[in-house]
Amino acid sequence: MAGALVGLLGALRQGLAGSGNRHSGSPLLGGKKADRKRSQSGAAVLKERPVRCLWITRQDPRPANSGEIIYSKGLLYSLAKVAGLEITVLTYQPPDTNSPQDSPENIHWEIAGPLPRRTAKHLLSSLPSDAARLGERVIQEPLSRLLAQKWDFLIVDQAACAWVLDWPTPLPPLIYLSHNHEAAIRPEIAAESSKPWPIKWIYQRDAARYARLEKRLLTEAALVTAITREDADEFRALVPDLETLVLMPGYRQEALTPPTPADLSQRPRKVVLTGAFQWVAKARNLEEFLSAADGPFQAAKVSLSVVGKVDDPGYFERLGRDYPWAEFHPNVPAVAPFLRDSRMGVLPDTLGGGFKLKALDYIFNGLPLAAVSSSLRGLPPEVCADVVKGDSHPELVEAIVASIDETETLSAAAHSNLSTLAGRFSWDDRGQQLANKMRKL
Measured between alpha carbons, how far is 436 from 434 in angstroms, rounded to an integer? Answer: 5
- What length does the chain have? 441
Both 381 and 431 in one domain: the answer is: no
d(CA 285, CA 65): 19
* Closest C-alpha to 352, from 212, 181, 210, 233: 181
Residues 209 and 280 in one domain: no
Asked if 333 and 373 sit in the same domain, the reply is yes
- Please indicate, yes or no, whether residues 371 and 399 belong to a single structural domain of this protein: yes
Task: Give the pLDDT band (50/70/90) at residue 17.
Answer: very low
Kindly write down the DSSP assignment for every residue of 196-231, as one continuous string: -HHHHHHHHHHHHHHHHHHHHHHHH-SEEEESSHHH
Looking at the structure, tell me whether residues 80 and 156 fall in a common domain.
yes
Tell me how crowded residue 46 is: count the other CB atoms within 10 A of its CB.
11
Does a structural domain hold residue 4? no
**pLDDT higher than 80, residue 102:** no
Task: Using pLDDT thresholds of 50, 70 and 90, give the confidence band for residue 99.
Answer: low
Measure CA 317 to chain center: 25
Does the pLDDT at position 241 exceed 50?
A: yes
- Over residues 89-110, mean pLDDT: 84
Average of per-residue pLDDT across 377-395: 93
Q: Largest Cα–Cα distance of the chain, in whole Å?
A: 70
32 pLDDT tier (thresholds 50, 70, 90): very low
Answer yes or no: is 19 within a domain: no
In this structure, the answer to whether residues 67 and 156 fall within a common structural domain is yes
Domain that holds residue 341: 261-421
* 346 and 213 within one domain: no
Is pLDDT of 18 > 60? no
Same domain membership, residue 374 and residue 241: no
Does residue 258 surpass a pLDDT of 80? Answer: yes
Q: Tell me, what's the pLDDT at 48?
A: 60
For residues 197 and 271, membership in a common domain is answered with no
Whether 296 is in a domain gets the answer yes
> Mean pLDDT over all residues of the chain?
86
The continuous run of DSSP H or E covering 254 comes out as none
Lowest mean pLDDT among 41-50, 75-84, 228-237, 350-359: 41-50
Q: Same domain, yes or no, for 227 and 97?
A: yes
Read off the CATH number of the domain in which 273 is found. 3.40.50.2000
So what's the pLDDT on residue 100? 63
147 plus 287 within the same structural domain = no
Q: pLDDT grade, residue 422 (50/70/90)?
A: confident
pLDDT confidence tier of residue 378, bands split at 50, 70 and 90: confident
- pLDDT exceeds 70 at position 27: no
Q: Is residue 69 in some structural domain?
A: yes
Q: To the nearest 10°, the Cα dihedral for 274, 279, 280, 284?
A: -10
- At residue 65 the predicted structure's pLDDT band, cuts being 50, 70 and 90, is confident
Q: What is the model's pLDDT at position 240?
A: 95
Total number of domains constituting the chain: 2
Quick one: 234 and 282 in the same domain? no
Q: How confident is the model at residue 192 (pLDDT cuts 50, 70, 90)?
A: confident
Inside any domain, residue 155: yes
Residue 309's nearest CA partner among 331, 283, 338, 335 is: 331
Average pLDDT over residues 23-31: 38
Which of the two residues, 96 and 188, has the higher pLDDT score? 188
26 occurs within a structural domain: no
pLDDT value of residue 177: 98
pLDDT at 187 over 80: yes
Chain segment 291-337, per-residue pLDDT in tens: 999 999 999 999 999 999 898 989 999 999 999 999 999 999 889 99
Confirm whether 17 is domain-assigned. no
14: in domain: no
Q: In this predicted model, what pLDDT tens digit does every residue of 345-360 receive, in sequence order?
A: 999 998 877 888 899 9
The pLDDT of residue 254: 78
Tens of pLDDT, residue by residue over 135-152, are: 999 999 999 999 999 999
